[in-house]
Amino acid sequence: MSKIMTQLIGLEVKAALGAPVLLSELRQDLPGMNKVKFDEDVLDLARSGEYFLIRHSRPDSLTRQEMGMMIPDGEGGFFYAIIPRPESKPTSSRRKTRSPAPSLQKHY
């Protein structure tokens, strides 16, 4: 497991409260990791489907230094934060065990 993966597992605690983790904070926690490796690891996590990357809404307002702490999205924008994907629970299993609300039941 890479260092970045270990750091990102730690973000689960913050994300449980719904707070995305800034990529700049993760970079600072991994000073020995070069930008290319960091960016690749984070993008791999997003591709895995277990994490969402959040785009900056105004990339034209960023300084070069700020852009350097973010991950280019390949379309002129930048990802600035990451958050674990919430676990989805199948609704079909809930439907099988729940009966309809009384007001929706047919009475003959």
Residues 66, 77: Cα–Cα separation, whole Å: 12
Give the C-alpha separation, 37 to 2, whole Å.
10
pLDDT of residue 14: 64
The pair of structure tokens assigned to 17 is 């409260």
SS3 category, 82: strand
The number of folded domains in the chain is: 1
The maximal CA–CA distance of the chain, rounded, in angstroms, is 72
Confidence of residue 51 (pLDDT cuts 50, 70, 90): confident
**Can you give the residue range of the structural domain that contains 77?**
3-104
Give the tens place of pLDDT for each residue, 72-103: 999 999 999 988 887 744 444 444 444 444 44
Give the mean model confidence (pLDDT) for residues 14-38: 83
